[in-house]
Every structure is written in structure tokens, then in C-alpha cells.
Amino acid sequence: MSVIALVGASGGPGVTTTALAGLLTWPLQPGRRVLLAECDPDGGSVVAGYLEGRVPGPHSLANLQVADRLGRLEEGLWEQLINLSVPDAAADRLLLPGLKSPAQAAGMQQTWPRLATLFGAWHRSAGCDVLLDLGRSGAYGASGALAAAADVVAVVVRGTLRAAAAARPRIEALQEMAAARAGQGIGLVLIDEGPYAERDLVQYLGLPVLARLPYDEKAARILAHGGDGGKAFSRSPLLRQAAAMGAQLQQVAAARQAALQTPAGEVTARGSAR
Ligand SMILES: Nc1ncnc2c1ncn2[C@@H]1O[C@H](COP(=O)(O)OP(=O)(O)OP(=O)(O)O)[C@@H](O)[C@H]1O
Ligand SMILES: [Mg+2]
């Protein structure tokens, strides 16, 4: 089980869409779960978008401020989760809806780091992979604690100059953090739009590609705005590739966890475990 942070940059590269596609298709062993926590300080968008406002109650990350002050962050977390599994299936695909307004982020200053610590332990006890949508600014400031605590940080980027230029300064900051975090897995989730080839982006941004997703307007529109896509939606190129992305991100997280468990003396000078 692992914590995987998805981050972006300005221009709306598709972090929330990618995270939600990940939640809906995440490869799950029996008895395991996956949670998408919308921790974008600029606010969440899944409830008003994909869910078209149809939710069972006022569930929100914002409610965790109060739970945190009362010393009941973990119980509060469970209370705020919405089950997005298909009807009649086990409640194994969970959503923590994000803030309703960026103004609420100010009240989260104390809670972000405690939430990061909680996720770091909770994913094991709850048997739950955690996907964090940190949005365009979430890797900075107080909420940066969430990125720092993740096993893997995946930067969502498209193959356009605008997207790559917006991502580069964020990546530099994240790389510094990853260096201080004992080999934290950090790389790109590349959305196939724009003229740049994978190798050009890898060179320009200095990160490996962890997964690629197709540019699939039809399926992305349903994930961003809702609507009934029928069977074609679940068979869409985007959702199919998202399942592969989930398996790839799980592998990167598992490799990092294995490296952390390897005693330092067993690691050769070239960095590989014997
Ligand atoms: N793989 C994709 N193919 C085609 N369009 C996409 C894809 N992913 C996202 N989009 C589209 O890009 C737009 C922005 O997506 P999204 O809201 O996920 O971006 P974001 O990075 O979360 O933005 P923000 O920083 O505003 O939260 C939406 O219209 C969505 O439909
Ligand atoms: Mg978003």
C-alpha cells in the first residue's frame, strides 16, 4: 500500500481528471481499497464535476479542520469519504472531496502536515492506496507536507511548450524535496497532447516518464463534467490506459518501499540492492 501524489502546474494539465481515472480503474487485490483525496488548496472539483453535485451529504476535506482540532482526525477522515464503487460492489473506491473554496485553505495550515502523517500510517492499517490530488500549487507551502510524505510524486504534464515550461520550476522544487526524502519516486505522467516527443520532455524536465495517458477528449469530459458515457466510457482509451498507469505507479511505489527496507550496507556503490 502506498501514497501517490499527483501534481500539476498552471494551465490545467489534467491532474484531477488523471487522479479520478486512476481511482476508477486502480488495480485492486481482494480486500484492498483505494482513496482519492482531493487536497488541492485551490479547491476540489470532483463533486461539482464528475458527480454533478449528486452527493449524500456535505462531505469535504474542510470538515477535517474541526476533527483535527478535536484530536479525531482519523475518525473524521472516515466520516468524510464517499464510496464511488459500482453499485453492489464492496466500498473499495473512496473519495475525500476537496475544499469548496481556496479561502478554506488558510484554515488548513495546521491540518496539512498532520494529514500527511496520518496518510503515511493509515494506508497500511486501512489496506488502502492513497492518491493525492495536490493541484497546481499543492506541492508548495504548508500543503507541500503531503507531497513530502508521498512514496511517489507524479507530475502530470502535456507535450506542449506551455505545459512543459509551466511544469519545470515546480519540478525543480520537487526534485530538491525528493533528494531529501531518500529516493522518493518522482516522475511524469505524460498526457499525449502536443508536439513534444517523450524523449524531449524527459530531457527538458529531467524526470522519467512513469506512465502515459492518451489525449481522449470524450472520456476526459465525462470525468471533468459528468454525464453518462455508457459502456463506451469504461472501455475508452483513457480509462484503459489509466488502469495500466495504476499498475505502473504501484510498481514505482513498491520499488521505493523495498529500497527503504534494504539496509544501507546492502546497497552497492551504483545504488542497486544486492
Ligand atoms: N487525458 C486527457 N485527454 C483530453 N482532455 C483531458 C485529459 N485530461 C484532462 N483533460 C481536460 O483538461 C481539462 C482540465 O482538466 P483537469 O480539471 O483535470 O485539470 P487540472 O490539472 O486538475 O486543473 P486545475 O489546476 O484547474 O485543477 C478538462 O477540460 C479535461 O476534460
Ligand atoms: Mg484539478
Domain containing 213 — which CATH number? Answer: 3.40.50.300
Rounded to whole angstroms, the Cα distance separating 15 from 170 reads: 14
- What atom in ligand 1 is closest to the CA of residue 20? 18
Give residues (CB < 6 A) around ligand 1: 8, 12-17, 40, 45, 135-136, 191, 213, 215-217, 220-221, 224, 238
Q: Please report the pLDDT score of residue 268 as a whole number.
A: 44
- What atom in ligand 1 is closest to the CA of residue 133? 22
Domain that holds residue 50: 3-258
Q: Please report the pLDDT score of residue 184 as a whole number.
A: 73
Q: Please report the pLDDT score of residue 180 as a whole number.
A: 63
Tell how far the Cα of 15 is from the centroid of ligand 2, in angstroms.
Answer: 5
Residue 273 belongs to some domain of the structure: no
Query: All 3 cell numbers of residue 63?
Result: 470538515
Residue that the C-alpha cell 512543459 belongs to: 164
What pTM was estimated for this model as a whole? Answer: 0.93
Residue 248 belongs to some domain of the structure: yes
Residue 33 belongs to some domain of the structure: yes
Q: Looking at ligand 1, which residue's alpha carbon is closest to its atom 2?
A: 215
Residue 264 belongs to some domain of the structure: no
Query: All 3 cell numbers of residue 72?
Result: 479525531
Residue that the C-alpha cell 506512465 belongs to: 211
Along the chain (274 residues), what's the average pLDDT of each consecutive run of 10 residues?
93 96 94 95 96 90 95 95 84 94 92 93 84 88 86 95 94 79 83 94 95 98 93 95 97 85 54 39
Tens-place pLDDT, residues 9-43: 999 999 999 999 999 999 998 889 999 999 999 99
Q: Please report the pLDDT score of residue 258 as a whole number.
A: 82
Residue 266 belongs to some domain of the structure: no
Residue 272 belongs to some domain of the structure: no
* Residue among 22, 33, 38, 14 nearest 97 (CA): 38
* Residue among 110, 104, 127 nearest 58 (CA): 104
Q: Please report the pLDDT score of residue 182 as a whole number.
A: 64
Ligand index nearest the alpha carbon of residue 14: 1
Give whole-number Cα distances, 39 to 45, 134, 143, 215, 260, in Å. 11, 5, 8, 24, 26
Sequence-separated (6 or more) residues with CB below 8 Å from residue 189: 6, 18, 154, 155, 156, 157, 209, 210, 211, 212, 213, 245
Residue 269 belongs to some domain of the structure: no
| Number of domains observed in the structure of the chain | 1
